[in-house]
Structure formats: C-alpha cells, structure tokens
Structure 1
Amino acid sequence: MSAHSPLHLVSSPSEAARDDAFPLVAIERLRRNGRLAAPLPEALGGDDLCAPERVGDLRRLLTQVGRDSLPVGRIYEGHVNALALVLRYADPETRAALARDALDGHLFGVWNTEPKENGLTLDAVGRLHGAKSFASGAGFVTRPLVTARAPDGRSLMLVMRMKAGERADLGEWRVHGMRATATGTVDFTGLGSSDGAVVGAPDDYFRQPFFFAGAWRFLAVQLGGMEAVVETFRTHMRTTGRGGDPHQQARFGRSLIALESCRLLVAQAAETAAAEALSPDRVVACVNLARAAVDQAGLDVLTLAQRSVGLAGFLDDHPLEAQMRDLATYLRQPAPDFALTGMAAHVLEADAPLHGLWGAEP
C-alpha cells in the first residue's frame, strides 16, 4: 500500500459535532486501509514503513493524518511509536506475536507518563502496581506499551493485553484542545507480566538516539495540523474577498514561510534519525532543532491566522476554531526549553562547521 494514496479521516457527523468523542470511525478507516499494520515489515504482513529507507513515506503519512485530524494523528503516531519499539527491541517470538495483534486490528500506544505518587512498578514475582497518566487512547488502545520500574530500579517495557474500556479513567481530561484523544489514567494494579509481553532488555526504552530522536514523528503530525490551519486561513481569505489586501497577503506569506521552513527541518530530522549515521548527541540535536522550530512556527501560524480571520475564527461553527485549539494544545510537548538549550549547547561545543553539522552538503 502506498503511503502517498489519499487518506481522508473526516469522522462521522456525530463525531464531528462532538470534539470530545474518540474518533472511532477514523481509526476504523485506518484499520481497514491497512495503516495499523503498515509499520510492520513485509515478512510480518506490513508495508515496512518503519524501515529507514521508507522514512519519507512514513513522514508524509503522519503529516497527512495530522492534516485531517490532530487527535487521530496523535493516536496513530503513538501506535507507530509502539510498533517501532517492538520491532527494534523485542525478541523474534514476541515481535511475531505482537505483529499478529497489529494485523488483527489491535490499537497500540506508548504510555510512559505516570503520577508522582503512584508510578508503575513490577515486583519480584511479576505483579504490577501503580498507574500511567496522560495515556492517550485510554479505554481504546488495547495493546499499550508501558514502562515499569523493576525491583533493581531499572525500567522494563511491557506490551499489555487489554480489553476496550478496561481500567481507564478519563475524568480529569478537561483540556482546551485534543479532547478526542481520550487521554486519561490507567491503573494496572493487580495485573502481572504474564498479562502482557516483555519487550527488550532493562532500560532499552531510554537508549539514545532512538528515545529522543523519535520526536520527529510527532513533529510530522504537528506539521499536518499547521497545514490545516494555513489552508483554512487561505480559504477564509478567498471566500471573504479579503485576499487582495496587502496586509492580509503579508500575514499569509509569513505563515507560508513558517510552514515550509518546518517542512524542510522535519524532513531533515526524520532522515537523520532514521540513518543514525551521526553520533547519538548530534542526531538528537538535529531533531531538537526541528522541534524548536515547529514549536515557534506553530504559535506564529496560529497568531497570524487569528489576526487575519478575526473574531469569526473563534466561533464554534468555524473550522479554524477547533483546529487552533487542537494545535495549540498538541504543541505543548514536555521540556521545550531543555530541547532548545540542549541543541544550542551541542552546536556551540561542536567542532564541525555549521554548514556540515547535520551531515548536509557544504
């Protein structure tokens, strides 16, 4: 299946009318179109989208999904991330078993955030205690990849076998945007390692550069959200007859510069992360460069669209209203200052000239 083929994820009318409704119709469309299995190698029934040589196709697909729906993009990116970790670290038997689950239509995700007072642990006899928080797709993801602290202090990855609606608490998910992601808290207390599959060795989850560099995938989704905002911006200017105003043209032109600059940086980050030809620190710095750019450009695009469209863009029935809320919320990824200053510090300390820092041609 080509990653270039059209994929429109507009939800059903009932889902579209409620932006807090989990997008079941859109996820089912991904399932029917083979996108849930696409990250798997061809030998395991997929399209090999996680292979380094297919990184451009995966990047374009993530952007396409994000353009249609940022909540769907967030869920799908988590699914891809989980399968990428399985393919990278799991033993052959576990990899094959989880691949069958993906082929059967199970939705995967990565849940690593946890409450301060009740983090997920694994005791000496293999019992789980504690919870994960900010778990996107809670109640709908049936194969979550979670990290649990073992008695020796190291972290293990497990993919848990769960049923839809099981153990999910969405009561505190009251947010500005991205409401449809069904993000909540999931308590695993009482389950055991036998209720899932151990993936990899202790602390594999945190190995660099894969741990930090994988951020390029959510950047690709965010880029799609930016595209949607700019497209709505353009449509509004044309349908209202305001596109001829030079001030509107200037704002729209600046939004295009922000958008297309980010497209180039995200593409560079994806290729650099997939190749892993540079040192881990340099790979991470390259991805963090794109992350800082997307964060700032996304906010700039939102401001430019708001100023040009005006009050109409804040009305419930205007498409820009939900797009703005979702993008503004999704841009709030953890530790943005750490990503920016870490990248800057790496470049300041590097001996390579700027024009060749990321492996680019002079």
Structure 2
Amino acid sequence: MTFPFDALSACCADLEAEASANDPQAAFPAEGIARLRKLGVLSVTLPETLGGRGSGTGHRGGMELLQLLQLVGQGSLALGRIVEGHINAIRLIACYGTADQLARAAMDVHDGALFGVWVTDGASPLRMEHSDGGIRLQGEKLFASGVHHVTRALVTARTRADTTYMLLVPLDGTRTVSPAFGGLAGMRGAGTGRCDFSATRLPPDAMIGQEGDYLRQPEFSAGAWRGMAVALGGIARLTSLLRLQLVERGRAESPAQQARIGRALIAAESAYLWTRKAALTAAVQDRYDVDEVAATVNLARIAVERAGLDVLELVQRGLGLSAFTRANVVERLVRDLATYLRQPAPDETLCEAAAWFTHHDLPRPEDMS
C-alpha cells in the first residue's frame, strides 16, 4: 500500500490557511496535526511490523519521507517543525533504544501521542541523577517545539560525571511550561517554549541508549536532512508565490522580474538536489564512511540555507512592500522560513564538511537503485 500523497497534497492549502489564522495568536496547528495523524504521517517511520511504513530507511524509504516532509513544509513550516521533531524522536528510539522501548513508542503513537526532541538547555541545564531505584531530573529545556502539546519528550540530560544521556519523558501537564522568551518572530505556530523538569522522577527504562548516543555520528548529523526537507517545502512555496503574484500584478514580463524568477527557480532546484543527496546518503549510510555521511549532509545543510536566503531576498525585492503586508501570506512565510533556517553552528558545520571533502570526492548515492 502506497502512502496517500495525493490526499496530503490536497490539504496543503488548508494547512496554510490554518497557519495564517493561527499566527497572530501563536496558536498551535491542532487541526493540521489531526489531519496528518489520520493520513498516517505520524506513524510512517515506524517499522511495518509495528504498524508503520519504515519510511526514511533505504533508497525508496528515504525518497518517500523527503516527499512527505516537503509537502508538509509547503503547507506549514510550523507544522513541519512539529512533525519533523516527532519523526526525529521515533528515529532516535529506533536507533538506540531497545525493542521493547520502540514497541511501547509505537503503541503510544497509535494511541495519539505526539513526540518531540528537546535538547537546548536554559540557565539551569537539565541534570539527572539515579535516586531510589529511578532517575530524578532537575533543570529546564528551552526552544522546546510544541511545549504545550507534545506528550512524549526525548531530552538530553547530564550526569554529575558530566556525561550525556537521552531520556524519554512522558508529559502529563504537571510541569511548568512557558512561551519562548519574548516570542519568536516566525514559526509562531510551532508553540516553542520553555519546560522546567525540576523534581521529575522517571523509571530506569526511561533512558534511551547509552552514554553519548545523541551526539554519535553519523546519525547526529545525518538526521538534519529531514529539517532540510521541511525547509524545501517553504522555499518551493515562496518561489511559486513570487511567480503567481508577479503574474497577477502584470509585472512578470519585466526582464528584471524574470531574472528574479529564474534565480529563485535555480535556488529552489538546487535546494532539492542537495536535500535529495543528503536523504539518499543518510538512508544508505551503512555503505559509506561515518565522516563521509556527516560531511555530505552538512554540506547539504549549508546549501539549502543559502538557497533559502537567496529566495527570501528575491521574493522581497521582487514583490516590494507588498511582501511586508500582513494581508499577504508571503509576509508570514518569509518570517517562518527565515526563523526555520536559523540552525546552530553554520560556520563550524561548513568548515568541518569542507575539511573532509578537501581530500575526498562527494558520494553518489543517487546512482544506486
């Protein structure tokens, strides 16, 4: 049975309308999540034996997940961030957790649970210690997407010995949560905020994997391609709106505007090709050196960022002040994409990837069947 991509594509306009309606109040896209859950989006990366499709692994699965995330991002980048975080959590449990932990996660997904990955520490970093046969937490996480709606948070916590572990924390509404400091300019519908885990107690089996697994390569870098796929949807949507709005205003025949349209199309296609390469490399990563996988995805990450920034400039210059009016959907999309593209350590990412490929050739996973 194939994934219902036609149905997902058909609801993109509704996802976009919800995102625009929710933006002023920074409301969460509850209707969008419900529609995606009904389509099976939230269970696609689970193994087939656990009621999923195994998307994201293997050549076919990588391309399927890329298409899915791109379509969600095309409809709503904020919703795409929530879905990507959910999928990321499932992926980490599948990579590093036990068979029983993955099976329990699958049951939770089918029961309607929403997962997230929260790793950014606040002024009080999240700490863990073993106590009374369990685990006790102290501290907080910042920039936690879906902070009021995620029901299973995969978090990183440090021990007294300064080692890092992943923990899966059920969220029952008893923890202190608050919005992001000052409120984000874009991606407001993602519900990003702060969560205080102080005095939280967990059973021993809340620990996912071993010490240092979250930062273990190549998965740590390879997983970034899924965020690129979501961004790709936003880049494609803005490129389409540039063309459509210039045609509607009778300005598309201007040589200067045609040049902008052409450059935007080139940027969008470049972003797609780099994302595809990253997705394929990550999906068949066992065929490559660990550093090769990480470096390929890191180069792709920078390429997609650059393409997105180019499209933002072209859209704003091409549409002029109309791109800054709140009545135009472009204004929100520009804010959302600009915020979404702000991934950590871009300079370090680029230099590490360049250092590897100074002495190696790029892999060609696209040639594999």
The CA distance in 2 between the partners of 1:262 and 1:38, in whole Å, is 24
What letter matches 2:83 in structure 1?
A: Y
Report the CA distance between 1:171 and its aligned residue: 5.3
Instruction: From the superposition, tell whether residues 195 and 5 of structure 1 become closer, same or farther in structure 2 (CA, over 3 Å).
Output: farther
Task: Choose the corresponding residue for 2:240, options 224, 227, 231.
Answer: 231
1:215 maps to 224
Contact 1:161/1:195 (<8 A) preserved: no
Residue 196 (structure 1) shift: 7.2
Q: Is residue 242 from structure 1 mapped to residue 266 from structure 2 by the alignment?
A: no
Note the C-alpha offset of 1:152: 2.9
Shift of 1:266: 0.6
Q: What is aligned with 1:4?
A: 5
TM-score with structure 1 setting the length = 0.94
The offset of 1:164, in angstroms, is 5.0
In structure 2, C-alpha distance between the alignment counterparts of 1:60 and 1:311, rounded to whole Å: 33
Give the TM-score taking structure 2 as reference length.
Answer: 0.92
Which structure 2 residue ranges, 5 or more long, are not aligned? none
Report if aligned partners of 2:16, 2:76 keep a CA contact under 8 Å in 1. no
Verify the 8 A CA contact 1:138 1:186 in the aligned structure 2.
yes
Tell whether the 8 Å contact from 2:139 to 2:198 is kept in structure 1 after alignment. yes
Q: 2:57 corresponds to which letter in structure 1?
A: A
| Structure 1 vs Structure 2 CA RMSD | 1.9
- Contact preservation (8 Å) 1:258, 1:297: yes
CA contact (8 A) 2:277 2:365 kept: no
Moved more, 14-23 or 301-310: 14-23
Query: 2 CA distance for matches of 1:235 and 1:28?
Result: 30
1:11 shift after superposition? 4.3
Give the match's secondary structure for 1:18. Answer: helix
Distance in 2 between residues matched to 1:228 and 1:83, nearest whole Å: 28
- Superposition deviation, residue 282 in structure 1: 1.1
Aligned to 2:126: 120
Matched to 1:344, the amino acid is A
1:18-70 deviation digits (Å, cap 9, x = unpaired): 30111111011111212111211111011211332401000110111001000
Paired residue for 1:187?
196
Q: Secondary structure at the match of 1:127?
A: strand
Whether 1:58 aligns to 2:62 is no
Q: Percent identity, aligned pairs only?
A: 42
Q: Pick the structure with more helix per residue.
A: 2
Task: Say whether 1:16 aligns with 2:20.
Answer: yes
TM-fit CA distance, 1:100? 0.3
- Secondary structure of the equivalent of 1:36? helix
Q: Do residues 36 (structure 1) and 46 (structure 2) align?
A: no
The question of whether the paired residues in 2 share the 8 Å contact of 1:167 and 1:186 is answered with yes
Q: Shift of residue 89 of structure 1?
A: 1.0
- Contact (CA 8 Å) 2:56, 2:62: kept in 1 or not? yes
Is 2:115 aligned against 1:108? Answer: yes
Question: How far does residue 167 in structure 1 lie from its aligned partner after superposition?
Answer: 2.5
| Total equivalences in the alignment | 356
The runs of 4+ residues in structure 1 deviating greater than 3 Å are 11-16, 356-361
CA contact (8 A) 2:86 2:115 kept: yes
2:301 to 284, 288, 291: 291
Counterpart residue type for residue 332 of structure 1: R
Distance, in Å, in 1 between the alignment partners of 2:18 and 2:32 is 12
Tell me the SS of whatever aligns to 2:229: helix
User: Which residues of structure 1 form unaligned runs of 5+?
Assistant: none
Distance 2:299 2:109 in 1: 33
Q: Counterpart in 2 of 1:335?
A: 345
C-alpha separation in 2, matches of 1:144 and 1:80? 12
Contact 2:43 2:53 in 1 (8 A): yes
Question: Offset of 1:15 from its aligned partner?
Answer: 5.7
Name the CA distance, whole Å, in 1 between partners of 2:151 and 2:203: 15
